[in-house]
Chain A
Amino acid sequence: MSLMEKLDGGVSLLAGGTDLLVAMKDGRLRHRTLVDIKHISNLGAMRPEDAGLCLGAAVNTRTIARSPLVKERFPLLSQALAVLGSMQIGNRATIGGNLANASPAADSAPALLALEASVKLVGPQGERLVPLENFFSGPGKTVLERELLTEIHVPSAPDQGRGVFYKLGPRGAPEDICIVSVAVFAVPDASKRIWTDVRIALGAVAPTPIRARNAEKALLGQLIEGRTVEDAARLAAEKDARPISDIRGSASYRRAMVKILVARALEQLSER
């Protein structure tokens, strides 16, 4: 921390380097001092925490995806991280880096948003725990202020809850930068007739990864049936998503895909 104060501006933190080196090579980052943080003790550890999970920011995404603990307790997270990048990228890219890089299309973000994860930020003034939903402030921007993202805390999820992640990309391969991504975590009541808790997160359709609050509200306490699924999917596409057109897809295509993927996810989670 004292090092960060001393160096001040012009410093980039290096973890897996899979985003940073590309930015350096194409000239978006110049004359910078790099501080390699991945060997700081504790940043590389992953451990159960009560019924949840604490992930060190420098744990690589493939290690998390393949962890038996994560597969058992948080299959949604495992599913999302398994397609974050190729094997070679997953062996280097860190979970903290994927979040701190703050791409609207970050593949780890929707699953972690749906699981209501928080991030621990440590700076010269002390540390704070920020809900992931409040961490992103724009494309490539976060609330980090000369701080280090050290841990990701994933709280315990209800036993009856199930999740699903869809990533839409041009190749249908892990290497894709997604055009749209959707993570849904849903909890039915004991009779499996009513949605008691639904969290829908969207990637690449807003300046940051977002929760689709309008769609979620429309489902809460409602019957698990085709009509509610349709209404929620429409709201996610029309009210929650605020996509732009870019090289990967047009805004209208993205909205159309949000509708389809949210509906598909909810349908899959409706199956008894």
Chain B
Amino acid sequence: MNITHNIRVIINGQTREISVAPNETLQDLLRYRLGLVGTKSGCETGDCGACTVIVDGKAVNSCLVLAVESNGSSVTTIEGISSNGELHPLQQAFIDHGAVQCGFCTPGMILAAKSLLDEDPNANEKDIRLALAGNLCRCTGYVSILKAVAAVGKTLRGGK
């Protein structure tokens, strides 16, 4: 069976027309076909959050989305959030707060945090903890990550 589907998807602002296999996940499309390896492959079962990307404004596990399902969608990966060589505020905050150790969870953490803050700039610590509960980190102990996200939230609210 060599059925393929032609999809049109906007990836990091760029429209792509791609032929995908019916059982190909969005994660595999991004990593192996488009070379966007900032999206990490972890548990492959939606538990670890390392493969988190943003589809139409919502954080999802790209390992549990078929590439063909993203037809007509807009996908943002970690490679797409800096602009003109400037780091995204969350990326800068992760550096400033020492929230990156081995770095494997970082892209997923940042995209989960971005989707939360885009949705609700007033997110409090409880909201942040709940939103990041699907992203596992085995190095940092999470505290520095929570601080980094909260700091960006504070900046977005004008320092209040």
Contacts and interface: CB of A to CB of B under 8 A. Distances in A.
Given A87-B115, A87-B133, A174-B134, A92 B65 contact: yes
20 contacts: A18-B64, A21-B25, A21-B46, A21-B64, A25-B44, A34-B66, A82-B130, A87-B132, A87-B134, A88-B112, A89-B46, A91-B59, A92-B61, A92-B64, A92-B65, A174-B130, A174-B133, A174-B134, A175-B133, A175-B134
B145 interface: no
Given A21-B66, A175-B133, A88 B52 contact: yes
A220 B10 CA distance: 57
B22 A88 contact: no
A197 to B, nearest CB: 32
Interface in A78-130: 82, 85-89, 91-92
Contacts of B47: 175
A42 B116 CA distance: 27
A87 B23 CA distance: 24
B23 A24 contact: yes
Interface of A: 14, 17-18, 21-22, 24-25, 34, 36, 82, 85-89, 91-92, 173-175
B14 interface: no
Interface string B88-131: 00000000000000000000000010011000000000000011
Nearest to A38: B69
A89 B135 CA distance: 11
Interface in B26-55: 44-47, 49, 52
In the A-B complex, list the 9 residue pairs whose CB atoms are closest, starting with the nearest.
A86-B134, A91-B58, A88-B61, A173-B133, A21-B64, A87-B131, A88-B134, A22-B45, A88-B59
Contact of A87 (B64, B69, B130): B130
B153 to A, nearest CB: 15
A68 to B, nearest CB: 13
Given A36-B69, A91-B58, A92-B61, A22 B134 contact: no
Contacts of A85: 46, 134
Nearest to A17: B64
B60 interface: yes
Majority secondary structure, A binding face: mixed
A54 to B, nearest CB: 23
A24 B65 CA distance: 12
A173 to B, nearest CB: 5
Candidate in B22, B61, B63 with the most chain A CB atoms within 10 angstroms: B61
Nearest to A31: B1
Contacts of B59: 87-88, 91
Contact of B65 (A17, A25, A86, A175): A17
A100 to B, nearest CB: 17
Contacts of A82: 130
Contacts of A173: 133
Candidate in B49, B69, B112, B131 with the most chain A CB atoms within 10 angstroms: B69
A92 B133 contact: no
Nearest to B1: A31
B32 to A, nearest CB: 16
A215 B22 CA distance: 49
A82 B23 CA distance: 30
A17 B25 CA distance: 11
Contacts of B52: 88
A87 B52 CA distance: 10
Interface string B127-160: 0001111110000000000000000000000000
A92 B60 contact: yes
Contacts of B23: 24
B53 to A, nearest CB: 9
Given A92-B60, A173-B133, A87 B112 contact: yes
Candidate in A14, A22, A82 with the most chain B CB atoms within 10 angstroms: A22
Contacts of B64: 17-18, 21-22, 89, 92
A34 B47 CA distance: 23
